[in-house]
Amino acid sequence: MTRQVILDTETTGLDPADGDRIIEVAAVELLRRRPSGRHFQRYVNPMRSSHPDALRVHGLTDEFLSGMPLFEAVVDDLLEFVRGAEVIIHNAAFDLAFLDAELDRLQLPPFASHCAGITDSLALARAQFPGKFNSLDALCKRFGVDNTRRTLHGALLDAELLAEVYVWLTRGQDSLAIELGESAAAQREAAQDLSGLRLRVQRASAQEWREHQQILLALDGSGRSVWKPEAPQDGSEHVAASPPAMA
C-alpha cells in the first residue's frame, strides 16, 4: 500500500540557527494518493516569542502558545505518524532545518531517518513550471484548489491544501490502475485483450456532411481550418457549398 504524508510547520522566525523554534507541526495522510482521513496536528510552546513578521503570518500569540506542550512531549507521536511513509514538504529544506534542530536538542537522529523518504514539492513545481511563481498560493490558483480559508498560515490547513496541490502536480506519475486501486498487471491484461471488441461505425448522412462542409469552408476562409472539405465517405453525392454570407 502506497502511504504518503504531507507535512508543514509554523515557526517563530526564519532561522533555527538564530534560536527560532517550531510552534506548530501538522501532517495529513494519503493512501494511494487519496486522503485517508487521518491527520496529525500539534501546537508547541517554543519558549520564546515569535518575530513580529512571523506573528503577522501565523497569528499564534505568546499567550496562546504558553499553554501548549513542549516539542519533546509531541515528538514521539509525530515520528510514529510519519514512520514508513514518503513525506512531502513544500520547500523541504526550511522545515527540515527546524525539525532537525528540534530533534538534535533531544539527541535524536535527523528527521529523514524516521521516514521512508522526503519529497520537496517546491522542487517538483519548479521543474514543471520553470520561471513561474510556485508558492503554495500560486499553485492553488494554478490548479484551481480553493484556498479562500487561508487568511493566516496554519500548518494543518497548509498541509491539506498541499495534499490537493501535490496530487495535481504529480497526476501523470501514476497509472489509472493505481488511482482505481487495481494492479498495473491487471490493467495491462485488460487493455491487451481486445478480441471481443467490435466498434460500430456511424457514418454521416448527406445533410450532416453539407453542414460540416459549410463549417469547414467558413473556417478555411478565415485561415483557421486545418482540414479541407472532402467528399463524403458514405457514397452520397458531394454537394458544393458556399461560405455563409458575412454580415
Q: How many domains does the chain have?
A: 2
**139 and 62 part of one domain:** yes
**120 and 155 part of one domain:** yes
Q: Cell 496536528 maps to which residue?
A: 41
**70 and 167 part of one domain:** yes
**62 and 119 part of one domain:** yes
The pLDDT, as a whole number, for residue 242 is 42
User: Is residue 41 over pLDDT 70?
Assistant: yes
**239 and 117 part of one domain:** no
- pLDDT-derived band of residue 213, with 50, 70 and 90 as boundaries? confident
User: Is residue 89 over pLDDT 70?
Assistant: yes
In tens, the pLDDT along 111-131 reads: 999 999 999 999 999 999 999
Given the residues 58, 90, 114, 153, the one annotated as active site: 153
Rounded (to 5) percent helix, strand, coil in the chain: 45, 15, 45
**125 and 156 part of one domain:** yes
Structural domain including 8 reads 3-182
Q: Any alpha helices (H) in the chain, and if so which ranges?
A: 52-58, 62-65, 71-82, 92-105, 121-128, 136-143, 155-169, 176-179, 184-192, 206-222
- Of 182, 215, 234, the last residue of a domain is 182
Evaluate whether residue 228 is within a structural domain: yes
Evaluate whether residue 190 is within a structural domain: no
| Cα–Cα nearest to 34, from 1, 81, 80 | 1
**169 and 230 part of one domain:** no
- Of 182, 216, 236, the last residue of a domain is 182
**173 and 102 part of one domain:** yes
User: Is residue 176 over pLDDT 60?
Assistant: no
153 a catalytic residue: yes
**112 and 144 part of one domain:** yes
Task: Specify which residues 34 forms β-bridges with.
Answer: 31
In tens, the pLDDT along 159-170 reads: 999 999 999 999
**213 and 178 part of one domain:** no
Domain of 86: which CATH number? Answer: 3.30.420.10
- pLDDT-derived band of residue 245, with 50, 70 and 90 as boundaries? very low
Q: CA–CA separation, 190 vs 169, rounded Å?
A: 28
- pLDDT-derived band of residue 238, with 50, 70 and 90 as boundaries? very low
Evaluate whether residue 196 is within a structural domain: no
| CA quadruple 109, 115, 116, 118: dihedral sign | negative
| Mean of pLDDT values over 129-138 | 96
Evaluate whether residue 157 is within a structural domain: yes
Evaluate whether residue 187 is within a structural domain: no
The pLDDT, as a whole number, for residue 61 is 95
The pLDDT, as a whole number, for residue 134 is 97
The pLDDT, as a whole number, for residue 216 is 79
Evaluate whether residue 189 is within a structural domain: no
- Give me the chain's average pLDDT, please: 84
**51 and 150 part of one domain:** yes
User: Is residue 183 over pLDDT 50?
Assistant: no
**177 and 212 part of one domain:** no
User: Is residue 208 over pLDDT 80?
Assistant: yes
- pLDDT-derived band of residue 139, with 50, 70 and 90 as boundaries? very high
Evaluate whether residue 195 is within a structural domain: no
- pLDDT-derived band of residue 240, with 50, 70 and 90 as boundaries? very low
**Cα dihedral 26→20→62→160 (10° resolution):** -20
